[in-house]
Amino acid sequence: MTVPDTPAAPAHFTMTEEEIIAKFPDRLRGYDLFRKMGSPKHVVAPMVDQSELAWRILSRRYGAHLCYTPMFHAKSFSDPRSKYFSEHWQTDSEDRPVIVQFCANDPDILLKAAALVAGQADAVDLNLGCPQNIARRGRYGSYLMEDWELISRLIRKLHENLEIPVTAKIRVFPDVAKTVEYAKMVEAAGAQIITVHGRLREQRGHKTGLADWAKIKAVREAVKVPVFANGNILYYEDVQRCIDETGVDGVMSAESNLYNPALFSGKALPSWQLAEEYLEICKQTPTKLTYIRGHLFKLFRYSLPVHTDLRQQMAKAENLDDFCQVVAALKSRLLEDDAKDPFDAENTPVDEFGYRKYPHWICQPALRFEHDKANSTSGRLLNEAQADQQAKRNSDEAVPSTETPEDGDSKRQKVATA
């Protein structure tokens, strides 16, 4: 009987796994890393200019088990004397567990940047999911998805040379088999945790659409390292639903965390309460005004269109005191709004799709709606419209279904955007 030859390791694999373990005997791998971080189920995503230290502190107070830093540009970050490094790198003794994320396309520069945080983080993550045009111009993030050799070299460089583990955050391909092979390549290169954002590179902005949990499940079943899922998390209950449907080890939230940092607590809290708490943190933790403004606009997303004069004041705020004054004014008005129509968290109505109808002063997920050109407004979610169009295209080939009609909850899950 002829035994097939073992495929040769890529040329950039300069060490065997046994040699790497001998070089870093105390560095944690896979599920050992996961357990050391407390087996995190609630994960705050890396978000450019938005998952800064102050926001991580706030998120941890409301149930986040693990936080990622914003995505840092490895080349800019790699010089500790640079303005970029001093402005962006921020942590403290309570900021754990934390994973620092970088975008990069040069293995040596990535290693140089990652080495600067090795003693202050639990792991370093490689961003392979950013879909923005700036990532295309800079050739990083999801725009490396076709260059598997470079991705493998980036991860392997850290795996063979960095004192702390390397992880990776990926997007999916249209084909599930290719997605699985992609994830297995990332694992083979040395990634100790893989986060799968279940959307295609093209799914961004007004084309965000649905995350594909089936592809996340396929990756979870194919790799041996822990997997985090990212996508379609609007409410606290979605976390366990995602785990049940995909088998993942943890669930990451990005956009929904920004609009409701108490997401992982399961609490429906007033926006002014979280805004005040965030600003108190900022008084102790220096935070760029652009970050603060961005967070407050998201927290008050549904109230500022009601109190438009305060929206202008928020936009013109020039210091922390200005922001505090605007939030105090908003709080006063929102308390009046609540007094007129008190919010009952135990009896929150839902719409026809199962979306919760919170009053504007309660933190809630952002939902993207279809633009109805004929009527200027529409009650249908953008993703619902896209899903209907796709269903229509597939209907000619579909086998008649014997399933019962979807209830509101399953409809809502299928059009979730976060």
d(CA 79, CA 240): 41
Query: Which of 154, 89, 87, 84 minimizes the C-alpha distance to 118?
Result: 89
- Residue 416, token pair as written in the block: 């979730």
Looking at residue 111, its amino acid is L
- Beta-strand runs (E) in 366-417: none
Surface-to-core class of residue 10, CB atoms within 10 Å of its CB (0-12 exposed, 13-18 middle, 19+ buried): middle
Report whether 155 contacts 128 (CB < 8 A).
Answer: no
Backbone torsions φ then ψ of 6, nearest 5 degrees: -75, 130
Looking at residue 10, its amino acid is P
- Told to judge if 363 belongs to the known catalytic residues of this protein, a careful annotator would answer no
Whether residue 97 is preceded by a cis peptide bond, meaning omega within 30 degrees of 0, is yes
| Given 67, 130, 242, 282, the catalytic residue | 130
Q: DSSP characters for 66-98?
A: EEEEEEEEHHHHT-TTSHHHHHH----TT--SE
Backbone torsions φ then ψ of 392, nearest 5 degrees: -65, -40
Residue 251 φ/ψ region, left for φ over 0, alpha for ψ in the -120 to 50 degree band, beta for the rest:
beta
d(CA 370, CA 381): 5
In 10 A of CB 232, how many CB atoms?
26
Report whether 69 contacts 49 (CB < 8 A).
Answer: no
Report whether 228 contacts 237 (CB < 8 A).
Answer: no
Residues labelled as active-site residues? 130
